[in-house]
Amino acid sequence: MSTFERLSGAATLEVVVADITTLAVDAIVNAANSSLLGGGGVDGAIHRAAGPQLLAECRTLDGCATGDAKITQGYRLPARHVIHAVGPVWHGGGSGEDAALASCYRRALDLCQQHGLASVAFPAISTGVYGFPPERAAPIAVGTCIETLKTTPFVTRVVFCCFSEPSAALHRAALSATLD
Ligand code: ADP
């Protein structure tokens, strides 16, 4: 697998094309819905790979607001934890979608910092069923992480785990635009 890496301060930001359920990082981020009770896409894949204990823990969390995130164990995943972030549903871009998407990345990194987790992998939150345009989401994802990493010194590795080569190209371009 080819890897694209850039440094920002003490942190490495990477872009990979992979199934996020295979990554052995401290935390993978789930693009969850507000019920936290499972769904399709990456959410379904994470619950299938983690096993039923993940859903059992999620049932205790009382859901999650859009733009927020909650942490669980990773169970059968190679990742130690899952951070369930609820991205915005795209309604045309005038309903706070950009801010809510940025908030997901910020909250996830804040949780890593609070829980002492150094490495985290993100999917392209909201760009599947939730319909957020991928070319608009990638610079928000990358820019928010670079900004937030200044205040989350424990986090030293951020992986943008893309599910397609076009998605990876958007994230590489956003990283290059900011850090090259
Ligand atoms: P949302 O409802 O937030 O849009 P989706 O799961 O539908 O969430 O899609 C979010 C992104 O995750 C999409 O870019 C999709 O291609 C990607 N994706 C789906 N399955 C996986 C997976 N196993 N690993 C990484 N990314 C995935």
pTM value? 0.98
> Across residues 105-128, what is the average pLDDT?
98
Sign of the CA dihedral running 122, 107, 113, 54: negative
From the CB of 161, is ligand 1 less than 6 Å away?
Answer: yes
Q: CATH number for the domain including 11? A: 3.40.220.10
CA 177 to CA 15: how far, in whole Å? Answer: 14
Q: Which of 75-79, 106-110, 115-119, 176-180 has the lowest mean pLDDT?
A: 176-180
Domain count, the chain: 1
Beta bridge partners of 86: 32
Distance 31 CA to ligand 1 centre (A): 7
* Max CA separation in the chain (angstroms): 44
| Residue 1, pLDDT above cutoff 60 | no
CA 167 to CA 83: how far, in whole Å? Answer: 21
* 76-96 pLDDT tens trace: 999 999 999 999 999 999 999
* 59-78 pLDDT tens trace: 999 999 999 999 999 999 99
Beta bridge partners of 17: 162
Closest CA to 69 of 120, 104, 115, 112: 104
How would DSSP label each residue in 57-88?
HHHTS----TT-EEEEE-TTSSSSEEEEEEPP
> Across residues 119-130, what is the average pLDDT?
98
CA-nearest residue for atom 21, ligand 1, is 42
CA 29 to CA 160: how far, in whole Å? Answer: 10
Q: Is 43 among the catalytic positions? A: yes
The residue written with tokens 């981020």 in the block is 29
ipTM score for this prediction: 0.99
Q: Please report the pLDDT score of residue 3 as a whole number.
A: 84
For 129, left (φ over 0), alpha (ψ -120 to 50), or beta? alpha
* 130-162 pLDDT tens trace: 999 999 999 999 999 999 999 999 999 999 999
CA 14 to CA 60: how far, in whole Å? Answer: 33
Annotated catalytic residue, options 19, 26, 43, 62: 43
Closest CA to 4 of 178, 163, 169, 119: 169
* 12-59 pLDDT tens trace: 999 999 999 999 999 999 999 999 998 999 999 999 999 999 999 999
From the CB of 45, is ligand 1 less than 6 Å away?
Answer: yes
From the CB of 89, is ligand 1 less than 6 Å away?
Answer: no
Question: Which of 42, 68, 132 should be mutated for ligand 1, with most atoms under 8 A from CB?
Answer: 42
Range of the domain at 92: 3-179
